[in-house]
Amino acid sequence: MKKINKSTIFFLIGAALVYVIVQTLASLKIINTFWETILLLAGVMAIVSLGLNLIYGFNGQFSLGQYGFYAIGAYTAADITYRWTQLHSAEGLTVVFFIAILTAITIVVVQKAVSKIRGLDTLSAFAMYLAVVLAAIFAAVKLGQLVANPITALLNLLPAKTAQMIVYVIAIILGGAIAAEVSFLYGLPILTLGSDYFGIATLGFTIIVKVLLDNSDTMLGFQEMKGARGMIGIPKLTNWTWIFIFLFLTIVFIRNLLNSSYGRAIVSIREDETAATSMGINVPFYKTITFVIGSFLAGMAGGLYAHVNGFLHPNTFSFVKSFDPLIIVVFGGLGSVTGTVTASFGWALVLEGVLRLVLPDGFETWRYVVYPILLLIMMLLKPNGLFGNYEIPFIRSIVPPLKDKANNEKKSEEVA
């Protein structure tokens, strides 16, 4: 029998305790709906921020596009469950399912073909991927519409609640998958840019997605998304149990990823790209895979978010809001999973909860005046974040802690 580590047991017990305590308090109505919603949003934000921490904190890619992928995941998942509950059709489910599967297959096939060609420039590869993926999407839509009716009949055989739950879980995972595939295509050309330029290009992505969502009913033709009026009629299915399950799985997944050879490769790229290359690490491959995993987490969190309030609005995904995960990640400490999770819960509780209650009547508008001041004080006092490099023993790994970036840059300047 394999020996289970002490820290693993502590972590599992701790996680179970957190779940049970919150669940009991919520069912006893000690935590009212207001605070419960804040906890759900905090959990969603934790998953988004963990994705960003993987991209920025562990791999060193300065990304501001996290909210774009979050939006893609949210609208994809919402559309699937909307079609299931309101239109009683599994068409959304099957179409998106086939898009996800066929795109993934074609990407893998093209990847195999491209890797055999030596010295192909990025843009040519991108053009190839784009053409093939568009063809795959076209085929997938036709295929999905073909099998929509049988699948609907099949799901109707199950009890209504079970069927809805299945659709919900698949919708969330598909939301993540679509976000991941889009991030692969978008990341392919822009991952070759330098760090700041990559950040700007991803910021542009967030803005493009927001504008597209603003016109989703007129330009994209999704009537049910209602464009800038906001999408309504999404079933409110996300509860503390689902948030907990997904957050738990995310933390365990990131922990195991970082402890694997993939994780070591990812972190080595953050420390020094040239050295990593000379050690035989395929830098573009690991950069892409990190970006895709981070975006997958963002898309998944988006799916969860869509079912919290049952309402989606493009303004939720504006680029001003897209700084939130960045703020959380820096707050918690770059490259610290513990810090990110704590910071996202602290951030949501303080900003949405405490500040709303503490400020006296007539001072509600001061919330966003106090928040930047807190941010400023925090940054001046602890520029490396709350936790710095600290990790709880369960997550702590052989990965070396983040070096001081400022010193790193100075060194590289001296060399240059």
Partner 1 sequence: MERKNQNPIIQWIVKTKILGILFFVVIGAFVIYALGQALTNNPSLFLQQVVNGLQLGFVYALIALGYTMIYGIVRLINFAHGDVFMVGAFTSFFTISRFNLHLWFQNLFPSFPAMPAQIIGAITVVLASMAICALLAFTIEKIAYKPLREAPRISALITAIGISFFLEYFGALNFVFTPNYITYKRPFEVKSWFIGPSGFGTIESGVTSPSNSIIFSNIFVIIVLASLSLLLVLQYIVKRTKIGKAMRAVAYDKPTARLMGINSDAVISITFALGAALAGAAGVLYAIAYPQVYFTMGIIPGMKAFVAAVVGGIGSIPGAFIGALIMGQAETLSAAYISTPMRDAIAFSLLVIVLLIRPKGIMGEIASEKV
Chain positions 97 to 156 lying near partner 1, rule: CB under 8 A, are 117-128, 130
Q: Does 386 bind partner 1 (CB under 8 A)?
A: no
Q: Does 87 bind partner 1 (CB under 8 A)?
A: no
Chain positions 292 to 321 lying near partner 1, rule: CB under 8 A, are 319-320
d(Cα 389, Cα 330) in Å, to the nearest integer?
11
Quick check: 398 and 347 in contact, CB under 8 A?
Answer: no
For residue 383 the two structure tokens come to 């520029």
Chain positions 56 to 75 lying near partner 1, rule: CB under 8 A, are 62
Radius of gyration of the chain (CA): 22
Minimum CB distance to partner 1 smaller for 275 or for 409: 409
Q: Does 323 bind partner 1 (CB under 8 A)?
A: yes
Binding-site member from 334, 351, 355, 399 for partner 1 (CB under 8 A): 334
Alpha-carbon distances, residue 184 vs 120, 289, 293 (angstroms): 17, 8, 10
Minimum CB distance to partner 1 smaller for 98 or for 205: 205
Q: Does 327 bind partner 1 (CB under 8 A)?
A: yes
How many residues touch partner 1 (CB under 8 A)?
59
Distance of closest approach, residue 173 Cβ to partner 1, in angstroms: 28
Distance of closest approach, residue 359 Cβ to partner 1, in angstroms: 12
Site stretch for partner 1 (CB under 8 A), options 175-183, 277-285, 367-375, 388-396: 367-375
Q: Does 368 bind partner 1 (CB under 8 A)?
A: yes
d(Cα 164, Cα 381) in Å, to the nearest integer?
48
Minimum CB distance to partner 1 smaller for 124 or for 260: 124
**Which amino acid, residue 375?**
L
Minimum CB distance to partner 1 smaller for 140 or for 203: 203
Minimum CB distance to partner 1 smaller for 269 or for 334: 334
Binding-site member from 135, 245, 369, 393 for partner 1 (CB under 8 A): 369
Binding-site member from 20, 160, 211, 249 for partner 1 (CB under 8 A): 211
Instruction: Give me the 174-203 binding string for partner 1, x by CB under 8 A, dash otherwise.
Output: ---------------xx-xxx-xx-xxx--
Distance of closest approach, residue 63 Cβ to partner 1, in angstroms: 12
Q: Does 219 bind partner 1 (CB under 8 A)?
A: yes
Q: Does 359 bind partner 1 (CB under 8 A)?
A: no
Instruction: Give me the 236-275 binding string for partner 1, x by CB under 8 A, dash otherwise.
Output: ----------------------------------------
Residues that bind partner 1 (CB under 8 A): 62, 117-128, 130, 189-190, 192-194, 196-197, 199-201, 204-205, 207-208, 211-212, 214-215, 219, 319-320, 323, 326-327, 330, 334, 365-369, 371-373, 375-376, 379-380, 383-384, 404-406, 409, 413
